[in-house]
A and B are shown apart, each in its own frame.
Chain A
Amino acid sequence: MFDWLTQSWLWLTQNWLHIVAPLLVFLATYVVGLWVRRVVYRAFNRWAVGKWEGSQLIIQTTRTPFIYWFLILGAFIAIQVSKLDSSGKVLAGKVLASLFVFSLTWVVVSLSTKILKLYIGKVPRLQSSEPLIVNTVRIAIAVVGALILLDVWGAPTTPIILLLAAVILIAALAFRDVLANLFSGFQLAQGEQIKVGDFIKLESGESGYVTDVTWRNTQIRGLDGNLVLVPNSRLLQSTVINYGRPLRKATKPFRFYTHLHLKELTGLKASNLIELVKVLKEVPDPVIYYHTHNFLEEHHYLTPEPANDFALWVSDELGDEVLSEKLASIDTFDFPTIGALRARIEGVIRDYLSKKPDGRTAHEGREFHFIKSISFILPTPYIAHDLREFVEVLRQVSLNSLSYHIFEARLRLKKGVNDFSIWIEDCLGDKDLADRLAYLDPYNYTLESLRSTIIQLIEKRIK
């Protein structure tokens, strides 16, 4: 033990300069590092304050590692001036270089994460993609750091780079749709052609208000209330009509309904005009509604609009074209109630009978059968909050729905005017448009042409 201490002391007295010099170099580098950090950070702080909000992030993230890097530098110089043999110096150099690369990679990862989060937080459409973007950048920096480390230790990096390139290529191919949507999303964001709140219509038929645009897809609230996700790439490739910002919202949305009819036989029939007018007086309102609207609904594709069942029967079975014409020319639109309409039909026949009482009798089996229509009213998924949505829904709903709101609501449900006019006046305050629709005689159109006419009137208003 004593010998060992003696030999060590002897070695120190002979080589003290080889120890003190590296130590002094190391300490000097550390002091220089402290001084450089102070000067650089002060200058950077003065330059960046108020100019760039990310400056504090840089300072906070690099302040401590900065001094580590000077410590690594100091250790490296100290080793180079020491008496260590060359192979030891090389090994120590590689270890210190590795430490530096590792710490630098960690700092760059940390700093880029903070900066990305700072900016993504300010762009709402990117927020949902934040994890994807941050992780991609982190992985890319880590891969670069790892490649440098491998290079420091002399490992062959070319095959790894080629392998990485191949993996990236395969991933790009596998996720080409995602990438296409990402790039399309970027284009949409840059161009600002489609924004949240716009009403758009795709050539494939989907339409509605844009509720969100992310990097991958655009979200539309469809006319049936469902959310439609349209991939951004599809949005850019197809023809899109952008009607722009929303129109004035109604105080209450318009819910579209539809109706279906079941025919109930009353068992009542007439074989001549006297019987016809007698039964006509007694039957309930739904029978009159059926016989004045049945032909219209069953033959809605025909032009000109056909007459009521009474006129047709008088012509086809009694062969009385004069009375048939008189009955056919009764304008259903003139009557606010079924009762008034019934009275008019009855009056026309009675008047005719008073002048020509000896009418024909229908052949057996060709009598007029009184039928009652039972109406089932059911909601559709379509709701309109403004005229733009209203007109687009109108293009899509069934003709049964149109017929319900125009004919049945006005006459059978005793509203006196069609549902569309009521909503446009009461909930949108547009009396002029409401009146135009209310004065439109729907009995002069086929149901399809009625639909087109209403759409044209509304389109004209919202242009």
Chain B
Amino acid sequence: MDSLQDKIYLQSRSRLQDYEPIVGRSCLEELRVLAGELSGKIIQIINSTFVGGGVAEILEHMVPLLNQLGVDARWDVINGSEEFFEVTKKFHNAIHGKKEKISPEDFALFSEVSERNLEEMRFYGDIFFVHDPQPVALIAKKKEIGKRWVWRCHIDVSNPDKKVWKFLRDFVVDYDAAVFSAPNFAQKLPIRQFLITPSIDPLSDKNKELDSGTIDTVLKKYGLTSDKPMIVQISRFDRLKDPLGVIEAFEMVSKNIDCQLVLAGGTAADDPESEEVLEEVRRRAEGNPGIHVLLVPPESDIEINALQRAATIIIQKSLKEGFGLTISEALWKAKPVVASAVGGIPLQIKNKLTGLLCYTVEGAAYALKQLLSNPEYANWLGQNGKEHVKQNFLITGHLKDYLLMFLALDQPSDVVYL
């Protein structure tokens, strides 16, 4: 439960000024003005872990940048047993709409660990920024110490398990505000709800510019060549990412156009189905030399980056998706993207302007053909997509939204003069 301020400073890879060539000076000037308005306030950020998982990854970048802006943001985590995190994993799945058996003992364990954290944790912030369901019950402290409390929900709560959501909702309604990543994740709540989309870091290994030598090395490693147009889907092997649908669409396209398909991703340790899906995909791809199924180890960000940069088209034919940040990663590489209109994807792709949306396998195949046959159009979409990400889905914009949200907590008005 120690604050990892020093560690975070050491881990900080990017300096704020490194973003200036990408987003411009005025953007950083605006951030500094906003940060100045929060002078003297401590933002206490609380989640469940310092390492691993998407939230920790975001905070690892976000907290040092907030500090560089002069905002006193400090990061703490709750303590929890293995059993506790198994329960919260069930909560997570249930909120996503997956059927989970959650017993009264599970709810009791959640409450018990939350009580313990309430006793052990030091609450020193002026604004408490609590991430995801694991620490949500810490709001009980508000009755005692007051201050501003915000719940940041990173998961898709558009179709949650009613029992779990009701349990969590009782905590959420005591917060001053909640933050969701997409409009359809929002719920009917008696508190203010803000829309803040996730972001990508343009300077991270996954998104930074790569030289052609690095890209060629990665292609060589996986036995790929760039002599044919390459369609790439990057995602873990999960039925919800519809890899078999992608193969089907590819087969429709490759009847007329000579091209290759790369399905690259990993398997999740907490998802026993993923190994099974990988095997299915491999069996389905057997005998088709144009399909490459690549098992990419974890922490292979540069390899993922290289595969995306080598792609002619990037596809994301998910059946269900959270925000789908992989779309922003693809668009950032100025690649034309074909993606299903699910979850947060339509926020990132405006059909026919920054990419092509599809609903079916046939639709995906049609979009792929259009792009392969019209490289200029594909390039135009790719350039628009990159600009769209630059304007809306970079970490600097994310920082701006968080700063505005902190300021909005004390401002009920719709127009705020700073």
Task: Give the Cβ gap from B356 to chain A, nearest Cβ, in Å.
Answer: 12
The 0/1 profile, CB within 8 Å of B marked 1, for residues 253-279 of chain A is 000001011111101010000000000
Tell me, in angstroms, the Cα distance from A284 to B413 when the chains sit together.
12
Residues of B close to A130: CB separation below 8 A: none
Residues of A close to B353: CB separation below 8 A: 299, 302, 306
| B415 in contact with A375 (CB, 8 Å) | yes
Residues of B close to A375: CB separation below 8 A: 414-416
Tell me, in angstroms, the Cα distance from A413 to B411 when the chains sit together.
17
| A377 in contact with B418 (CB, 8 Å) | yes
| B384 in contact with A374 (CB, 8 Å) | no
Q: Is A371 an interface residue (CB 8 A)?
A: yes
Q: Is B351 an interface residue (CB 8 A)?
A: yes
Task: Give the Cβ gap from B35 to chain A, nearest Cβ, in Å.
Answer: 12
Stretch in A178-186, A321-329, A362-370 with 4+ CB within 8 Å of B: A362-370
| A264 in contact with B30 (CB, 8 Å) | no
Task: Give the Cβ gap from A279 to chain B, nearest Cβ, in Å.
Answer: 13
Residues of A close to B159: CB separation below 8 A: 365
Task: Give the Cβ gap from B156 to chain A, nearest Cβ, in Å.
Answer: 10
A-B contact count (CB 8 A): 109
Task: Give the Cβ gap from B154 to chain A, nearest Cβ, in Å.
Answer: 15
Select from chain B the residue with minimum beta-carbon distance to A364.
B159
| B401 in contact with A262 (CB, 8 Å) | yes
Residues of B close to A262: CB separation below 8 A: 194, 401, 404-405, 408
| A316 in contact with B404 (CB, 8 Å) | no
| B416 in contact with A267 (CB, 8 Å) | no
Choose from B27, B158, B391, B407 the contact partner of A365 (Cβ within 8 Å): B158
Q: Is A246 an interface residue (CB 8 A)?
A: no
Tell me, in angstroms, the Cα distance from A260 to B415 when the chains sit together.
10
Select from chain A the residue with minimum beta-carbon distance to B350.
A299
The 0/1 profile, CB within 8 Å of B marked 1, for residues 389-415 of chain A is 000000001101100000000001100
| A369 in contact with B388 (CB, 8 Å) | no
Q: Is B128 an interface residue (CB 8 A)?
A: no
Q: Given A298-B388, A299-B388 in contact, is the A265-B414 Cβ separation under 8 Å?
A: no
Interface centre among A284, A376, A397, A398 (most CB of B within 10 A): A376
Q: Is B118 an interface residue (CB 8 A)?
A: no
Tell me, in angstroms, the Cα distance from A129 to B404 when the chains sit together.
50
Residues of B close to A165: CB separation below 8 A: none
Task: Give the Cβ gap from A453 to chain B, nearest Cβ, in Å.
Answer: 20
Q: Is B81 an interface residue (CB 8 A)?
A: no
Residues of A close to B180: CB separation below 8 A: 265
Residues of A close to B417: CB separation below 8 A: 377-378
Select from chain A the residue with minimum beta-carbon distance to B401.
A262
Choose from A300, A369, A377, A378 the contact partner of B184 (Cβ within 8 Å): A369
Interface size in chain A (residues, C-beta < 8 A): 41
Stretch in B185-193, B216-224, B228-236, B270-278 with 4+ CB within 8 Å of A: B185-193
The 0/1 profile, CB within 8 Å of B marked 1, for residues 435-451 of chain A is 00000000000000000
Q: Is A65 an interface residue (CB 8 A)?
A: no
Q: Is A175 an interface residue (CB 8 A)?
A: no
Q: Is A336 an interface residue (CB 8 A)?
A: no
Tell me, in angstroms, the Cα distance from A366 to B411 when the chains sit together.
31
Residues of B close to A265: CB separation below 8 A: 180, 183, 186, 193-195
| A301 in contact with B30 (CB, 8 Å) | no
Q: Given A265-B186, A372-B414 in contact, is the A301-B33 Cβ separation under 8 Å?
A: no
Q: Is A244 an interface residue (CB 8 A)?
A: no
Q: Given A260-B30, A267-B189, A376-B404 in contact, is the A298-B391 Cβ separation under 8 Å?
A: yes
Tell me, in angstroms, the Cα distance from A366 to B392 when the chains sit together.
21
Q: Is B24 an interface residue (CB 8 A)?
A: yes
| B186 in contact with A267 (CB, 8 Å) | yes
Tell me, in angstroms, the Cα distance from A369 to B346 when the chains sit together.
13
Query: Can you list 18 A-B pairs with a CB-CB distance of less than 8 A?
Result: A260-B404, A262-B401, A264-B194, A267-B193, A299-B350, A365-B158, A369-B183, A372-B414, A374-B411, A376-B404, A378-B30, A378-B33, A378-B417, A379-B418, A381-B29, A401-B26, A412-B415, A413-B415
**Residues of A in contact with B (beta carbons under 8 Å apart):** 258, 260-265, 267, 269, 284-286, 298-302, 306, 312, 316, 365-367, 369, 371-381, 397-398, 400-401, 412-413
Across the A-B interface, the 5 shortest Cβ-Cβ residue pairs: A369-B183, A398-B26, A263-B195, A265-B193, A262-B404
